[in-house]
Amino acid sequence: MKDYDVVVIGAGPGGYVAAIRCAQLGMKTACVESWLNPEGKPALGGSCLNVGCIPSKALLDSSHHYEHLQHGLDDHGITTSSVKIDVKKMIARKDDIVKTLTGGIAGLFKKNKIDWLQGHGKLLGDGQVEVVPTGKGKAETVKAKNIIIATGSVPTAIPPAPVDDKYIVDSTGALSFDSVPKTLGVIGGGVIGLELGSVWRRLGSEVIVLEALDTFLQPVDQQMAKEAHRTLKKEGMDIRLGAMVTGTEVKGKKVKVTYTQGGKEQSLEVDKLVVSVGRAPNTQGLNAQEAGLKINARGFIEVDEHCHTNVPGVYAIGDVVRGPMLAHKASEEGVMVAERLAGQSTEVHFDNVPWVIYTWPELAWVGKTEEQLKAEGVEYGKGVFPFMASGRARAMGETTGMVKILACKKTDTILGIHIYGPNASELVSEAVIAMEFGASTEDIISTIHAHPTLSEAMHEAALAVDSRTIHI
């Protein structure tokens, strides 16, 4: 039986990062992963690199270029004609990006002398993990002083819309259409639904989003959410709130979807239907409960603030535990566990985890929303600066959206920063750093921002908290 200091189960952004950091710190490390790529070959990277974050952004980028060529260049004095989309080539590009990055992780494993155990990991107790191969071969058992569970999450299924991987698909299937559906239904108006809906709308699909909640993007600061809702609708995305799907039926080459809205039963027909109602923690086949791990009513493995489970020597990170299901959160937890195993005192500040929705414009934020502060009775000041008043945004022709800063009324400490606009995913990093260091709006005001840049909107929003804006 092979003996390790650490065995990581799962090689997504949490697992592979944890494995690399453990190896860097001198621990003999193995990582168990069962993922097979479309060619049936083992692959690292988990859902994020194979069927999530990376491939979706590749398609979002391709579709953004296509739409921009068609509709975004007239004001620049550029005229185009006969713009076409080769969907198969676009998908092939996405697949090539995935293959390159997952192969890169394999190279990092080799560089750091990490054993990749290809198969499904099963907890046996007493520090033992059984590795069941996905293909031929016998299962083997390895032993470890410490085990890190990083098995991620899977798309949530709903009874009214069973996935058949042909006409009714989950988020994975929506990344691999071989042609543009004339009509596309999307169940779920959250992050995944809006991003995938954006891809295919830009390419020519009529997209209808059915969201069960009456509020659009309920967890998001509602000033930003309402602006995003208006923009998406203006661009042609049909978003129906308070629409609860009650059934689906495949007829011929169409999917009939029935739903209730406003107390009335309604229906529509689409060529393809995407089910994107969230994700659930993946503990299937892990033998977690039998191994003594506590799992809560929602299926998450219970951990403390340092990701230690109730079983000595067993840790869990990422989507399989509490907190936001975000790749970067999983990675930071992986680093924290690795460094704590090495005797360091690393922490993860979960209040400062950034969120991003990659529509266009992008939506990004960190910290509290205005609604949360009101509910908590916190006295706060607010500063808003529109990109309409940004010189760089004007030059780019990207003036939709704004930056919003919320700060404590008494101390001026920043409580939340929300960005809806071009490149919000990049701009939010300044906000995260500011909040990580406990910055005030005066700190941002005192920081010189290059001109002309989009980041100047952050500076002006900070000024706006104290009614000191210069450019509006």
Whether the CB-CB separation of 47 and 320 falls below 8 Å is answered with: no
Give SS3 for 156. coil
Cα dihedral: 234, 236, 242, 245 (round 10): -170
How many residues in total does the chain contain?
A: 472
What's the CA gap between 49 and 99, in Å, rounded? 9
In angstroms, rounded to a whole number, what is the distance separating the alpha carbons of residues 78 and 286? 56
User: Please, what's the b/e burial string for 3-21 (b: 16 or more CB within 10 A of its CB; e: otherwise)?
Assistant: ebbbbbbbbbbbbbbbbbb
Q: Is 451 among the residues known to form the active site? A: yes
Q: Are 196 and 231 in contact (CB under 8 A)?
A: no
How far CA 371 is from CA of 141, 221, 417, in Å, comes to 51, 7, 13
- In this structure, is the dihedral angle defined by the CA atoms of residues 73, 74, 80 and 85, taken in order, positive or negative? positive
Catalytic residue among 68, 120, 328, 451: 451
Q: Which helix (H) or strand (E) holds 351?
A: none
The answer to whether residues 197 and 186 touch, using CB atoms and an 8 Å cutoff, is yes
Could you give the residue numbers annotated as active site? Answer: 451
